[in-house]
Amino acid sequence: MTMALIEPQGSNAGAVVASFPPEESPLHLNGFFRTLYQRYEERFVYGAPLMAAKTARFKWDPESPVFARNEPEARDWPQLDYDPRLAP
């Protein structure tokens, strides 16, 4: 869970107010995705070989077009803020 406050008016209307909640708060937006990705990692079973087929992790093809960014609109795509899990 995270909290965000959006500027309702003025030149920054629609922008997230970075000072709310305080940065040290566990509800601050800047730690949200790091925590979300960590919980995702934890939901997979590592030490139970019999469950491996049911808890297999998704792996990206390194040749996937999403990484090539050849489409004209790709210049506007944000940079990834995590390292994707690539297939060998």
Q: Could you report the per-residue pLDDT of 32-79, keeping only the tens digit for each?
A: 888 888 887 777 666 667 777 777 777 899 998 888 888 888 888 888
Read out DSSP for 15-66? -B-TTSS-TTSTT-GGGHHHHHHHHHHHTS-SS-GGGTTTSPPP-B-TT-HH
The predicted pLDDT at position 8 comes to: 93
For residues 47 and 36, the answer to whether their CB atoms sit within 8 Å is: no
Q: How far apart are CA 25 and CA 5, in angstroms?
A: 14
Q: Which two tokens stand for residue 8?
A: 């309702």
**What predicted TM-score, i.e. pTM, was given to this entire model?**
0.42
Looking at the predicted structure, is the pLDDT value of residue 19 above 70?
yes
Q: How far apart are CA 74 and CA 52, in angstroms?
A: 35
